[in-house]
Structure 1
Amino acid sequence: MAKPLISAPTAPFHEHFASGIARAFAAARPPIQVLHDRGGNSLLIYDGGGQQEEDEFIVLTAHLDHPGLVWRTSQGSGRALFEILGGVELEKALATGVRLFDLNRPATQRGIPGTIVRAVEEEGTRYPLVEVATARDSPQGPGIFAMWDLPTFRVRGRRLSGRAIDDLAGAAVALCVLDSLVRQQASVRLGVLLTRAEEVGFVGMLAALEAGFLPRRALYINIECSSVAAGAVLGAGPILRVGDRLWVFDPDISGGMAALADELASQQPTFRYQRKLMDSGACEATPLMQADYRTGAVALPLGNYHNSGPGAQLAPEYIHLDDANGLVRLLVHVSQRGIGTGLAHSAAALDSMLASRLAQYRDHLLPL
């Protein structure tokens, strides 16, 4: 299920192929309803009935873009200027080949190989514009974009690598959770919000918030692929993310998920997880929290974040398959049990522990 989505060409404002794969996924599963806002964000909703409280409606969020290059202007036959959108190491990016894609062609297109031949400074842009040359005439105009010329999808042992793991692997996890609930005919409600243009500053999420597209009383769980530079260990399990570089997230959701993760670990000894701040970057949980939406977050430990590898050129990103499978298991468990259930158990256990500590040592608190 993950391969078509992770292999899809994408860039900020050019998420059409990934979005189309998500829509086809939903169309093949009639219990899933799909809503769209004016900005092209998609909300997939599975409603299996049951007696779930409205406040327990969980919405998973992930974004469908990845840093890339977007066509700006023609420079003649086989040459064009592109704008880099999203954060990359510029020196490595300039030394790496690209592939050009056309939104008017199928998602399975291999792309036209190209070479960055020069950088052109332009005021008001984060990076210089880059001139890309191709060996043969290539399409020009709006709808043309490029990605770094890297392997799209590769599995070696338990490692999954590709050019755009962040955040297409997070979106794939969310769809796998939906698929599991549909197959089980689970009596729960779950939403999956797939956003656009996260890599240029949460633009899709901000537009969805401005439009009032998101259910106000839902509980949100952002799914990201987050750099191991923040201290997470690849292969040690999915991350319960308590915050990012900009903000901290809802403690009740974090506490409830942690309690349910412990519960899952007691039932399935192969399951394990990590609990981290992950402050090397920011994620869409921050604008949700700033808009007063109750939000928690999870993450997959990611190597070569934004394709920044150890060499002189950009490199494929990578994750551990056990972390991804563990995250699917955790989010299915959270969806079925409910965060409120986990929080109640966690709070009761904490209250009991604190009360027992005081009872054990109260008599030692003699006046000084």
Structure 2
Amino acid sequence: MGLGAAAWRRVRGLKRAPMKRPAGALRSACVLMLALASVCAFVSVFVADAQDTPPSGPVVIIDTHAHLIRNRRGNASATAAQALPLMEAYKVERMIVLPPPFPPGHRGAYGREELAPVARDNPNRLAFVAGGESLNPMIHAVAPENVTPKHVQRLQQEAASIVAAGAVGFGELTAEHFSSGRGGHPYESTRPDHPMLLALVDVAAKSSMPVDLHMEAVPRDMDMPERMRGRGENPERLKENISGFERLLAHNRGARIVWAHAGWDLTGERTVALMRSLLEKHPNLFMSIKLDPRGPYATAPLAPDGTLRPDWAALLSAFPDRFVIGSDQFLDEGAERLALARKLVDALPPSVARLVASENARRIYRLDVKPR
């Protein structure tokens, strides 16, 4: 039924009539609109974060620093077979295995010859780094002031053999390694800017392969920490090594140096502040993160309740492309460090977690590049 002419005039008159709102009602409407806008913004952030979270579960890990066996007495092939189920359990997509930094004449040394076949047998799960059994003893066998061209030539030849064998890096090398008093590993120390280390980083730059370096942080001459005294051949005093480390980093900016064991240091001096300072100054410096249930805990990234410490959160947010996971797990002895690596990755914001857990490792170690 249609409206009569008079009724239409009344309706049109109502539409044309100005609407008067009390000032208080207008303010209330504005407040309501702002509140709705805030809710929408919150929901947008929430949805974006949810979309940033991988739908398939935990972020996968590429562990860049693990040891199949502690010494030559172990069976690398058998341990590799045992490691694969552990990798599945902790969502480790790939693992880079390497020898420890053996000193000259160590009877348990192993490396390229033992690890290359294991990596070839498991090309999608395992890769290897070598030199801890050969390059490291060469470097520590000669004092920096006594290095000759023949020493450098021998090192270059061995490095070339490592490249030819299909390794993805050189290591584990050391400039400062404490003896834990177990495992038969003695104290080792040399200048981080040892001429043979400088020669090696030149080879590393040319080969586009990183150098994995173990070095306790000693920012000044200092006493050996109390907890490490009386273990093995650890000395009473330590010499400052950060300035030499910076000279190593500056020697060839084309060389990628991975400073192992961030979050686990035996001097207590590898602080977030020190790492931040070095990362700011040296674009070719990268770090692998390690946690150990036995500690030390003072500089660890996780608090006792398992949450990420604020200073570490800020560091990883500032340098998300400079860190990788390096559990330092000896796979013939358990999986406790691997379990903590998983816990750390799960505590990271998703976008940072993917970089630290796997994407940085692919880039730094060129894992998507076919072996030479």
TM-score, normalised to structure 2, is 0.25
- Comparing both structures, which one devotes a greater share of its residues to strand? 1
TM-score, normalised to structure 1, is 0.25
RCO higher in structure (CA 8 A, sep ≥6) = 1
- Comparing both structures, which one devotes a greater share of its residues to helix? 2
